[in-house]
C-alpha cells in the first residue's frame, strides 16, 4: 500500500525501503537462474522465448491487479530478463566448462 508522503524526503525514504526489499529478491531469483543453467543441455536453451512471453503476460496481469501500468512493468521485466539471460549464459559456460 502506498502511503501519502508529505515531502520528497519521505518519498525517497520509501523508495529506499522498497529497494532494500527488492534487491534480496533479485539475488534469490539469480540463485534460481544459476540453477536453471545447470539443467539446460545447450547454451542456446538459455533463451526460451515462449517462457519469456509467458512471464511477461503473467506480470502484465499482475500489474493490472495492482493498478499499475502494465507497460512499465513489461519494460522492467524485459530488461531484467535480458540481464538474467546474460548472467545465465555466463553461468552455463562456467558450469559446462565451455569456451565461447
Asked if pLDDT for residue 98 goes beyond 90, the answer is no
Q: Which domain holds residue 77?
A: 8-95
**pTM as predicted:** 0.92
**Of residues 99 and 15, which shows the higher confidence score?**
15
Beta-strand ranges (E) seen in the chain are: none
pLDDT digits (tens, 9 = 90+) for 16-66: 999 999 999 999 999 999 999 999 999 999 999 999 999 999 999 999 999
Q: Which residues contact 93 (CB under 8 A, 6 or more apart)?
A: 43, 99, 100
Instruction: Judge whether 100 lies within some domain.
Output: no
Domain count, the chain: 1
Tell me whether residue 23 is exposed, middle or buried, using C-beta atoms within 10 angstroms of its C-beta: 0 to 12, 13 to 18, 19 or more: exposed
Chain centroid to CA 12: 22
pLDDT at 72 over 80: yes
Is residue 2, in this structure, part of any structural domain at all?
A: no
Q: For residue 99, how many C-alpha atoms fall within 13 Å in the half-sphere facing its CB?
A: 0
Q: What is the CATH number for 90?
A: 1.20.59.10
pLDDT at 62: 99
Amino acid at each position: 500500500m502506498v502511503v501519502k508522503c508529505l515531502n520528497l524526503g519521505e518519498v525517497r525514504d520509501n523508495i529506499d525501503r522498497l529497494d532494500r526489499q527488492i534487491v534480496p529478491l533479485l539475488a534469490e531469483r539469480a540463485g534460481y537462474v544459476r540453477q536453471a543453467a545447470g539443467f539446460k543441455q545447450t547454451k542456446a536453451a538459455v533463451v526460451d522465448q515462449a517462457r519469456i512471453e509467458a512471464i511477461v503476460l503473467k506480470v502484465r496481469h499482475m500489474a493490472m491487479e495492482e493498478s499499475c501500468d502494465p507497460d512499465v512493468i513489461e519494460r522492467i521485466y524485459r530488461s531484467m530478463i535480458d540481464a538474467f539471460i546474460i548472467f545465465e549464459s555466463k553461468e552455463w559456460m562456467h558450469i559446462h566448462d565451455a569456451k565461447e
